[in-house]
Amino acid sequence: MRQLKTLIVDDEAPARSELRYLLERIPNVQIIGEATNSTEALELIKALNYDLILIDIQMPGLSGLDVVTAIKELPNVPAVVFVTAYGEYAVKAFELDAVDYLMKPIDEERLTHTIDKVDKRLSGVQPAAVVKQDVRQEKSVIDIERIPVESKGKTLLLPMRDIVYISSRNDIVFVHTADNTFITRFTLKTLEERLASKSFLRVHRGYIVNLRHVIEIVPMYGRSYVLKVRCNQQNEIPVSRRRGQQLKAMLGM
């Protein structure tokens, strides 16, 4: 079995200890270093060839995002997993080609799945379609007007009316309002079912849109569309050809 030479980077000792404890329970992880700040992390990464770095984002001095940006110039760039209490940096993290983005407190099953993704990436194997572990979550959703999302280590109950759209990337589900982006532990399929009787529509395999926030529908080649929404971040959402007819029916087009 391949041993993943791993570096833990976090300025908080309890966080490093918890992560080390969980990683030591995974057979193919070999922890060969810990760093307490960004400067120390950069020195270790340049000195040794790590397979994997698990790194916090908010640290004194350079952030975890800055560290990962800096190491992109190295000849052997390790796989990166961000471990943080803040959901708002997830989009930037995946732009830096992170394998995953884990929210504190860390779920052991989620971490094990992440290590499997790292191993597959380093082995050049495409991961299979993700099978969500928490089936109970799929069956126990209560029909209320709020969606639980993660923000700065806390769970917020976000009113559905404030949601502009929901997207999925690298097995992470993001909930977007006009001004902010949050992470939710629900799957896109669960949210599609939960929001079916509302003003939401699954317009693409990676997107659910609140039609109340759509301001323009742009026809595209091949009978597909792009929706323009009220959002300060990504404001154009693709609509697949298969979902185009359903969209037109819901909007009375």
User: Quick one: how far is CA 69 from the chain centroid?
Assistant: 18
Check whether 232 has a pLDDT greater than 50.
yes
Structural domain includes residue 210: yes
CB 9, CB 53: distance < 8 Å: yes
Distance CA 5, CA 247 (A): 48
Dihedrals φ, ψ of 37, to 5°? -160, 175
Question: How many of the other CB atoms lie within 10 Å of CB of 155?
Answer: 12
More confident residue, 247 or 25: 25
Q: Which amino acid is at 85?
A: A
Q: Is the same domain home to 152 and 115?
A: no
- Over its C-alpha atoms, the chain yields an Rg (Å, rounded) of 20
Angle (nearest 5°) at CA 157 between 243 and 134: 65
Its domain, for residue 14, covers 4-123
pLDDT at 177: 93
Paired residues of 151 in beta bridges: 154
Q: Where are the alpha helices (DSSP H) in 24-107?
A: 38-47, 64-71, 90-95
Give 164's pLDDT tier (boundaries 50, 70, 90). very high
Does one domain contain both 14 and 49? yes
pLDDT band per the 50, 70, 90 thresholds, residue 125: low
CATH number of the domain within which 225 lies: 2.40.50.1020
Q: What confidence tier does 143 reach under pLDDT thresholds 50, 70, 90?
A: very low
- Indicate if 69 and 105 belong to the same structural domain: yes
Torsion, CA 91, CA 18, CA 141, CA 159, rounded to 10? -50
What's the chain's average pLDDT? 85
Structure tokens at 191: 């949210």
Residue 129 maps to a domain: no
**178, part of any domain:** yes
Distances (CA, A) of 239 to 197, 199, 222, 242: 19, 16, 11, 8
What pLDDT score was predicted for residue 115?
Answer: 95
How far is it, in rounded angstroms, from Cα 50 to Cα 71?
Answer: 12
Return the pLDDT at 223: 66
Q: How far apart are CA 57 and CA 71, in angstroms?
A: 15
Helix 38-47, helix 64-71: angle, nearest 10 = 20
Enter the tokens of residue 143: 């029909």
Domain count, the chain: 2
C-alpha span between 86 and 240 (Å, rounded): 31
pTM for the model stands at 0.61
